[in-house]
Structure formats: C-alpha cells, structure tokens
Amino acid sequence: MDSFHATVFALKFHKDFVHILKASSAEENAEFSQNGRMYDIFSRYGLLYKLYNKENTDWLKPIDYHHVDEVMNAEIEDSLKYLKWEIEN
C-alpha cells in the first residue's frame, strides 16, 4: 500500500501490511514530501521495518500490535484530554 489513510486503518484493525513509499523528485525537501507523514507514523509506532526495501526482507516480520495499541491508546487519551481542555477553556 502507499496510502496514509489505508495505513492508519490497517493499524487500527490489526491488519498486516507493507508500505511502499511514493517516488519523490530529487529537489523535493524530504521534510515536506508526501512521505514525511509516513516516516512520522512508522517511527511513532516502531514500524520503520514495514517500509518496503528490496535489499532485505525485514518488512515480512509481523507487527507487534500490543505495542501499537499501547501507543495508539496513549495518543487517543492525549487527544481527548486536549479536546476536553479546549472545550472547557
């Protein structure tokens, strides 16, 4: 897959996947490229190995969804706290 939203849904519903980064032009700044948010989510969840790499097969390893759930639940809790604070203040 090469879609940010498909990746989020795969994580939410515990689906195995491998991600293929989109090709970017040489002059494109990596920080602002379409792949930037993919690197962010994969690093936050400890899944950089799920980025397809023809040089090795690490991307074949299964995902530790226990860890993914812990991170996701913490992020959800933080988001709800923030929203509640914004509504009340």
For residue 5, pLDDT beyond 60: yes
CB atoms within 10 A of CB 83: 10
Residue with the bigger pLDDT between 9 and 22: it is: 9
For residue 26, pLDDT beyond 90: no
Is 10 exposed, middle or buried, given 0-12, 13-18 or 19+ CB atoms closer than 10 A? middle
Render pLDDT for 34-85 as a digit per residue (tens, 0 to 9).
788 889 999 999 999 999 988 989 999 999 999 999 999 999 999 999 999 9
Distance between CA 54 and CA 56 in Å, rounded?
Answer: 6
